Amino acid sequence: MTEDGPAARHGTARDGAARHGAARHGHAIERRPATDAEARALASALRLRILRICLGQARTNKEIAGILRRDPASVLHHIRTLVRTGFLEPQQERRGSRGAREVPYLATRKSWQLSTPAQGQIMLDTFLEELRLVPAEDVDTTRLGLRLPPIQMAEFRERLFSLLDEYSDAADDPGAPAWSVFIAIHADPNRPGN
């Protein structure tokens, strides 16, 4: 999942949690599979960063391009793709400092409701790209190796993603610091199973 809601979660596979729903506030969340167009729209680290930039605060193409340090014309192409697929929503038009027409865009959080299993590498690339922009002392990391039977692993995933779902529903406080969370669960190639 991605994190324009979420996940940005911006749509990664959550194994059993994605297919069967995770508990949230006492009921299951069903994530529908992304359509081909939605999956293609999320198959870009740049588009995932645009969704994060527009999460909780509407931004114009010029503002987004400035944050990304990219050409506004190429960024606009990506914005249009995200609007067409429902991941960004244009807000009320406004006039810029020189009277130019500006359209701010706001992330819809739609990607948090989707399952896009094939997006793992894009999510990782986006995470690493963003991580390079953050001072090392501002990054909190941990690593954990587990060996659990399938039923316990399913419970672990459900509880973990339930917590993420709970916080994804929290109101965005514009005065608070912005945080990013990236979680990856994978089979451990260093400790082959029996």
User: pLDDT tens digit string along 170-181?
Assistant: 888 889 998 999
Tell me which of 185 and 97 has the higher pLDDT.
185
Predicted local confidence at residue 22, as pLDDT: 39
For residue 123, being part of any structural domain is answered with yes
Tell me the pTM. 0.78
The neighbouring-strand residues paired with 136 are none
Q: 24 pLDDT exceeds 70? A: no
Predicted local confidence at residue 194, as pLDDT: 57
Total domain count, the chain: 1
Mean pLDDT for the chain?
A: 84
End-to-end CA distance of the chain: 30
Q: Residue 139's domain spans which residues?
A: 15-168
Tell me which of 116 and 70 has the higher pLDDT.
70
Q: Concatenated DSSP letters for 115-165?
A: E-GGGHHHHHHHHHHHHTTS-GGG-----------HHHHHHHHHHHHHHHH
Angle between helices 45-53 and 120-131 (to 10 degrees): 60
* CATH assignment of the domain containing 48: 1.10.10.10
For residue 133, being part of any structural domain is answered with yes
Predicted local confidence at residue 29, as pLDDT: 62
For residue 181, being part of any structural domain is answered with no
Predicted local confidence at residue 100, as pLDDT: 85
